[in-house]
Every structure is written in C-alpha cells, then in structure tokens.
Structure 1
Amino acid sequence: MRTKAFGLLAVCALLTGCLGGTQETDQGRNADAKEITLTIVANAALGGKNARGANWLQNWVVPKFTELQKAKGVTATIEFEQNGAGDEDFKTKVALDLKTGGGGDIIEIDGIWLGELAQAGQVKPLDEVVGTGTNWDGWNQIPQAVQALGEFDGKRYGVPMGTDGRVLFFNKKLFAQAGLPADWQPRSWQDVLDAGTRLKALPGVTPIQLNAGTAMGEATTMQGVLPALAGTGRPIHENGKWQGDSSNVKDVLGLYQRIYGGGLGDPVLQQEAKGRDRSFTLFSENRIGILLESDYFWRSVVEPKNGVAKMADRDSAVGWALVPARQAGAGVGGQDFVSMSGGGVRVINPNTKYPRQAWELMQFLNSAEAVKESLAGTAQLTQRQDVNDEVLKGDPVLSFVAEKVLPITRYRPGLADYPKVSAALQQATADVVSGKSPDDAAKAYREALVKAVGEDNVG
C-alpha cells in the first residue's frame, strides 16, 4: 500500500505539480538553453499599420537583442510576426492563439483587453509565468498609476508600452476677450461652468465642448463620462459591479444638462457623424473656448505643421489645465484633479518554451534605450519617467501630462462587458443632450445596463 501510494504521489507530482514542485520547474524551463527562438506578436506592419513600431521591432529590436544574446554565448532567433488587422480581428486572433496553446512569446495587446484575457486564463500574472525574477529596476521608472495599465485584480500581468492623459484645453485668445486668466486652472466643475458663462458672451463662440452622444462613440466615454465620473469619487466598475443609476452617475448627467441645456455647449454638434472632427476644426478657428481631450489633441490635431486642424499660433494661443473633480477632494482616492488614460501592454505567453528569456526580452523592449529608439525622434509620452524627462523637456504640454497627469490617472476596466457599458453611457448622455432629465436618463441607462450585463453585476 505504501509503495502504491508513493507511486501515485510521484505521478501526481510529475503531471500536475500537486506537490508544489513543478511550478518553479515550469518557470525555469530551458533557462540555460544556448539556442532559443522567441517571437514578438504585434498589430503592426512594415509600410502599413503602426509602421513606426513595426520598423523599430524588425530593424532595431531583433538585431540588437540577437547581438546581446550572442555576446552571452546564446544563439537567439528573434522573429517579429507582423499584423495589420482591425483591432477586434487582432484581438480575436490573439485570444484564439492563446486558447489553443499557440501564439508568440511576447504579445502586444490593448490594455483594455487584459482583464478579459486574464479572466479566461489565457494570460497569467508575470510571477506565475516567470517566477520571482520579475524584480526589475525598470519598475522604478514607471509611475504606479501607469503600471496599473498592466494590472488586473491586484496582480501584475504585463508591462505598459506607453500611455496618454486627458486635460482641459482652452483658447487663450478667447479667454482674454472674456476677461479670463491665461493661467486658468479650475478647481471644481463650477469653475468650469463659470468660465463657460463668461465665454458665452462672445459672439459665435461655443463655450464648452464635452463629448456627448453615440456618434462620438468611445470619445464620449473617455473624454467625457469617465473623467467626470472619476471626479465624483467612484469609477464605473468597482467591487465586481458596474455602477448603475447612482447619485454619481446622476451628477455626471447633471453636468451634461448644465452644459447643453444651459447654452454652454452645442447639442447639434454632438449628434453629427463627424462631430468630434468638427469640434477640432472649430477650436482651431477660435470658435470653441474649452475642450476636454487627450494629449493627442496637442501633438496631432492642432499641431502647427502636420495637424489635422492646424493652428499656426498653437504654442501661444492654446492653454491647458488639469481636469478638476466635482469639488476639491471629491475625486477618486480623494483627489482634487482626475484624468483617464489608455495604452498598450506587453504580456508573456504562458505557453512560452523560454519564460526566463522572454522576460529578458521584455525588459529589453522596455529599457530606456529601446523606448527612446522606438520614438524615432518624435515627442510622445512613454511608460518610463526617465525617458519622458529627456524627450519631452521641449514640449510643455507633454511634460505637463507626464509630470502632473500620469500620477493621478485611471484606466478603463479591461472587461469583456465594457464596450456594452460604454455604449449605454453614451446613450445616456445623448438622452440628456436631447432634453431628457438626468434622472430619466439614468433610469434608462440602468435598464440598458441590466440588459447588457445582468442584474447581479449592477451596483
């Protein structure tokens, strides 16, 4: 009997790790291999989608890392799997690869997909894949708020690739005409509304643009509802529940009512198919006073030479400010100011044959040298504070976002139901813009939310 029991335990240990011995073995498998092959998967293609990133991976990362491995006596074959698909198609491909035990060793994903993949068991926390070796000095250069992009349920799954931040942009020329300060920094929603009231006196000017409605899609949620909701002290998802028709949601819809029902915003613009693009043009033509947007607006929209709505005098005419909470201290975590951010994350495939080497490649991809090289001379926010300090020092807005916004930012919940929740929030703002009361819009939102995610998942 003792012999049989020992045999069963030995088989159990070999097959399932029930004695606790195989997890570290799995994490350390092939750790001393002298010949390795690692594949990086990204939704980028040379000469196509995300071409700059593709060029960096293919022509800098691959040869550089191969060379570094050769110096250690390791023959490394690093492959870059290019893709140029739509985001949802790429997501489907990644999920299918992971589900069937395939896929690349390092995979670039949108941060909003992380929770869904984690809940499905298709990606795992870094320390489960790599082991205790995830202690890395690079973490000290990634602000904690930015690290959250690669975290789910309190566990670290990946390394953020970069991010952005949302601020209030304002037209200094219009502010001067309205008698408002060039160094404006509102400290409450009321301060923003008061500035809007002053701007309302200017002919042909829309005082405030806060994205609303379904035509603007996710821009309504990310540049409107979620920052405002964070300013009430509660995120859209907490403790496993989606926020329903709470007082916080009603406060946000009340803000929309005060803007669009009070003549401070243009309700028609929110319903136009190209309303967001139109708002960019109007701002550049000095016809919108205040606009909530990401740093993309500064570096790509009103950029004087190549922007989609060029402003020749951008550097002197455009001001920026932190997004205030409803009132001081009312924001999430007791914050006075709030923001929302997005971005990508690199994860290690749990099925990799070379977990330790994949982690070494991951560290290299996110090293200061590699991150700077990936920018190809452009000014853009990165995940690393040391890189930001160097490459953004000549850009006042991006430096402001890196120093002031990233430490306080929040991210969308990376859950499968989020797109349905976002759509319901967009419709709620559309209802208010078209004249429905905040209470009625909130009630309709809850009904749509329950239908989308189930009563048990609504708080």
Structure 2
Amino acid sequence: MGGVARRDVVRAAVLGAGSAALAACGSPLDPRGAGADGEVALTVATNAVSGGKNADEADWITRWVVPRFERRKRAEGTPVRVRFAPSGVDDEQYKTKLALDLKAHAGPDVMALDGIWVGEFAQARYIRPLREVAGERAVDWAGWAQIDPKVRSLARFEGKLYGIPAGTDARLLFFHRPLFRRAGLPADWQPRSWAEVLAAARRLKRLDGVTPLQINAGTAMGEATTMQGVLPLLTGAGGRISDGERWYGDTRELRAVLGFYRDVYGAGLGDPRLQQEAKGRDKSFERFATGRLGILAEGDYFWRDVIAPKTGTAPMKGRDDEVGYALFPARAPGAGLGGRDHVSLSGGAVHVLNPHTRHPRKAFALLAALHSAAALRARLGDSAMITERDDVNDAVLDRDPMLRFAADKALPVTTFRPGLAAYPAVSLALQEATAAVVAGRSPAAAAAAYRSALKEVLDGDDRIIG
C-alpha cells in the first residue's frame, strides 16, 4: 500500500471521491434548519438500519429516543423535528460518507463515530471539541458524573473532549469448560502468565479434533487481530503502540508479542488456516460453540452476541455453565504496562456534533438525550451490556455475571487504542507482522519489517521510537 493511502485514510477518501460522490452524500445543512411548521429540524445518524445492521440501535433511536425527545421539546415550547438517517453499510463506507458530508459543511447534526476515528476526524478539522460547538452546557452536563474518566478517553483527543462515548467493552480469554475437564484443567482457570496460557493449550492439544487456542492473526481478521491479539499482548509485555504523536517500532516488547504468535502457531497450538480465511473469525466462533476450540481471545461481544443461548449467531444453549472467562495475563506477573498482572483493551463508539450545525444548543440536547440513563435502560430492556454510565451499569450488569466480571475486573486494567490519523495504517502493519510470523518468518524479521512499514506510514523516522 502506498504512503498516501496509509498516511491519511479520511483525506485520501475525500480527495479521491470526486464531485459525483460528493453530490451523492446529500445536501448541505438547511440554512433555516426548520421544519414545515417552523420546528427546528435535526438529523441523527449512526451506522444502523431497521431490519439490517445494528437493527436494535436503529429501532431504539426511532421508536424511543426520537419521539420522547420531540415530545419533551414541544412541552418546553421549543418544538424540534428529528430525522434518523440510517446507513447499515460497511464501516469504511460509512466513515467516508461522513467525511465527505463534513468537508462540504453538510451532514447530520449528531453522528456516531468509531472511537478510533475521533483523532483522524479532528486532525482533518471535520469535527471540533464539544465545548467549542455547544459551549458551557457541554461541560456542565450532569451525565459526566456517571462516565468514568477512563471511558471518557474514548472521546478525547489531545486533551479535549469531542463527544460522548457510547458504551465500551473489554477483552478477555474465554475457555470451553467441558474441554478443560477432559484435558484435566481447572474449571476456574485464571492464567498468571503467557507461559500458563501456552501450557493449557498444550494440554488441550492432546484432545482429538480440538484447536487448542485462537489468537487472531493476519490481515484477513482485520482490526480483530490488533484488538483481540496484538494490543492486549503488547500491553501485557509492558509496551505501548504510541506515545503522543510518536510510534514505537521494532521494540523488545513487540518482538515478545510476535514470539508468542510463533509459540502458538509454530507449535501447532492454533490453526494457521483460520488466519488466512475471510470468514476465519466466524469459523473460530463456530468451533468454540461446538466444542472444537479450547481457548479464545475475544471481546465481551462474543459472549453477548455470538454465543448467547437464544439470540447468538453461534448460540450455546449451555453457555452459562460451559463457558469460562479469565483476564488476559501479562507476560509474567507484574510485567504488564504500569506493573500490571493482567490487562485488557477497550473500544467503543462516540457520538459527536456536526461543527456546522445551525442549532448547537438543541443538537447537544439531542446528544444528551441519547446518553440519558432512561434511554440506555430502554435500549437494553431485559438484556445487559457495559454502557458508558456507571449508574446504568450498576442497575443492569448483575443480570449477567460475565459482564459484571468484565466491568469490575477488566475495565480497571484496560487501555484504549490511540485516536490518531495514522492508526488504521499502523494497525494494518501490525496485522501484516503477525501474518508473517504465522507463515513461518522469525519474530525479529517480522518486527524489522514492521518498522520499515511504519517508516512508510509516517514518511520517515522522525516519529518512530525504536
């Protein structure tokens, strides 16, 4: 991949889109910003659509958030008409469309971004800090008291808040208890080091037809490789991916991570073919659900949406009894970043305001409505997930011991990806490094190749450490 494409995904997409694509993105914001009866008109957009991608989110916004917000504003004497703009497309398509809209001073008043896009959009000047758009009301919003500073960092770039985080998650090790019993491993397994993870995988290898361990690798897995594999391991080795605007290259911590990949795939503890297939991640889910995979490194999404007994894509009727979960161990006790024994990695979406909205006060009121405790509880219904609000988590997570474990044990030791424009290209380079090791290249050679790729991404050595 060329340096320009790697260096700035948003700007490259906008510059390469052409006027035809720009015209397809919708009209600039209505100068009057008003409906037919003089109501203020606002638009909210997320990558969701009823009956399709993230349908529950689309239905929640259109059936619960919007009508209640409109009724409240009407009762206050300041009527607002809200339109939901659905997408339901590939994330990169959605991202490019928003970038085109914002470049043209068009687009929705309130929109959802992946947390790792915040810095990229901010550096391209497509979004502005929340305080600059909405004023002091954004600082004084009572909801901030319920959002942990660590979770707020999802929406923070260079010390400034650009929006409100829309939930978060955690990375854990899931293990198949019936397979552990057959291999003579404990049902309450909690590894204290990478060596203990590998030792358990070697025991599982004795079972016929079982893949001992799945740690995502390669470019076919995409960002799942970086999120579920490289970055938790790097943190567990005491390393970082970046420091401000500088990026770590060929470091001993990265070589240790790549060494772990060699130990897994070079010793037949993982299936290298899965790492090369477009549907490899889904196949790993299916293997786990059907008792053919022993240990899986994944986010809590796997528990909530994949192996959920009734609604999962690979449902496990006996999930609650058959699936164990453990914290990601550091390389050795105390060897993790900051002297940690265990680590995690978190992500999530962020809702931001269009800096060109003609009604910033009301747009912020809509933004706040999306993050009210009542709205989040309504979205969850009888289910549970880790939301951005502590008060909601306190009310709903006891329904699900695994999510309570993730919130109480994993989030305190979690880290987040850097919201910088170069990150997507850096992430791809890390994926390529793991693919090289799975294919048989030495960790040292793969780490050196990563540094060369980083030099290309960053147009030189000035911002590379190591």
Normalising by structure 2, we get a TM-score of 0.86
Q: Of 452, 457, 463, which residue of structure 2 is paired with 1:452?
A: 457
List per-residue Cα deviations over 1:113-142 (Å, max 9, x = no partner): 111111112211112222232222322222
Matched letter for residue 240 of structure 2:
P
Matched letter for residue 356 of structure 2:
N
Q: 2:209 aligns to what SS in structure 1?
A: coil
Whole-Å separation in 1 of the counterparts to 2:141 and 2:338: 27
What residue is the counterpart of 2:196 in the other structure? 191
Range with bigger deviation, 279-288 or 429-438:
279-288
What residue is the counterpart of 1:430 in the other structure? 435
Q: CA deviation at 1:380?
A: 2.5
Whole-Å separation in 2 of the counterparts to 1:316 and 1:430: 34
Distance 1:35 1:214, change over 3 A: closer
The reply on whether 1:257 has 2:262 as its aligned counterpart is yes
The reply on whether 1:391 has 2:420 as its aligned counterpart is no
Q: Which runs of 5+ in 1 are unaligned?
A: 1-29
What residue is the counterpart of 1:233 in the other structure? 238
The reply on whether 1:310 has 2:315 as its aligned counterpart is yes
Distance 1:268 1:42, change over 3 A: closer
Whole-Å separation in 2 of the counterparts to 1:65 and 1:436: 57
Whole-Å separation in 2 of the counterparts to 1:324 and 1:192: 8
What residue is the counterpart of 1:6 in the other structure? none
Q: Of 71, 79, 90, which residue of structure 1 is paired with 2:83?
A: 79
Q: Of 160, 169, 175, which residue of structure 1 is paired with 2:165?
A: 160
List per-residue Cα deviations over 1:267-301 (Å, max 9, x = no partner): 23323332222222222232222110111211222
Q: 2:196 aligns to what SS in structure 1?
A: helix
Whole-Å separation in 2 of the counterparts to 1:327 and 1:144: 28
Whole-Å separation in 2 of the counterparts to 1:35 and 1:106: 17
Whole-Å separation in 2 of the counterparts to 1:421 and 1:167: 23
The reply on whether 1:360 has 2:368 as its aligned counterpart is no
Matched letter for residue 112 of structure 1:
I
Whole-Å separation in 2 of the counterparts to 1:258 and 1:90: 38
Q: Of 212, 234, 237, which residue of structure 2 is paired with 1:207?
A: 212
The percentage of aligned residue pairs carrying the same residue is 55
Distance 1:270 1:96, change over 3 A: closer
The reply on whether 1:148 has 2:153 as its aligned counterpart is yes
The reply on whether 1:46 has 2:87 as its aligned counterpart is no
Q: CA deviation at 1:35?
A: 5.6
Q: CA deviation at 1:305?
A: 2.7
Normalising by structure 1, we get a TM-score of 0.87
Whole-Å separation in 2 of the counterparts to 1:354 and 1:302: 43
Q: CA deviation at 1:454?
A: 2.0
Range with bigger deviation, 122-131 or 35-44:
35-44
Q: Of 351, 359, 378, which residue of structure 2 is paired with 1:346?
A: 351
Matched letter for residue 379 of structure 1:
A
What residue is the counterpart of 1:25 in the other structure? none
Paired residues of 1:143 and 1:406 also in contact (CA < 8 A): no
Whole-Å separation in 2 of the counterparts to 1:263 and 1:87: 34
Q: 2:83 aligns to what SS in structure 1?
A: strand
Distance 1:128 1:333, change over 3 A: farther
Distance 1:52 1:306, change over 3 A: closer
Matched letter for residue 221 of structure 1:
T
Range with bigger deviation, 77-86 or 277-286:
77-86
Q: Which runs of 5+ in 2 are unaligned?
A: 1-32
Range with bigger deviation, 97-106 or 426-435:
97-106
| Structure with the greater alpha carbon radius of gyration | 1
Whole-Å separation in 1 of the counterparts to 2:362 and 2:464: 42
Residues 116-155 of structure 1: pairs in structure 2 closer than 5 A: 116-133=120-137, 134-155=139-160
What residue is the counterpart of 1:14 in the other structure? none
- Cα RMSD after superposing both structures: 2.1
Paired residues of 1:295 and 1:398 also in contact (CA < 8 A): yes
Whole-Å separation in 1 of the counterparts to 2:60 and 2:304: 21
Q: 2:399 aligns to what SS in structure 1?
A: coil
Matched letter for residue 292 of structure 2:
R
Q: Of 103, 109, 124, which residue of structure 2 is paired with 1:99?
A: 103
Distance 1:234 1:132, change over 3 A: farther
List per-residue Cα deviations over 1:54-98 (Å, max 9, x = no partner): 222222222211221222222222232233333222212212222
Residues 290-305 of structure 1: pairs in structure 2 closer than 5 A: 290-305=295-310
List per-residue Cα deviations over 1:138-188 (Å, max 9, x = no partner): 222222222111111121111011222110001112222222221111122
Q: 1:339 aligns to what SS in structure 2?
A: strand
The reply on whether 1:90 has 2:94 as its aligned counterpart is yes
Paired residues of 1:385 and 1:402 also in contact (CA < 8 A): no
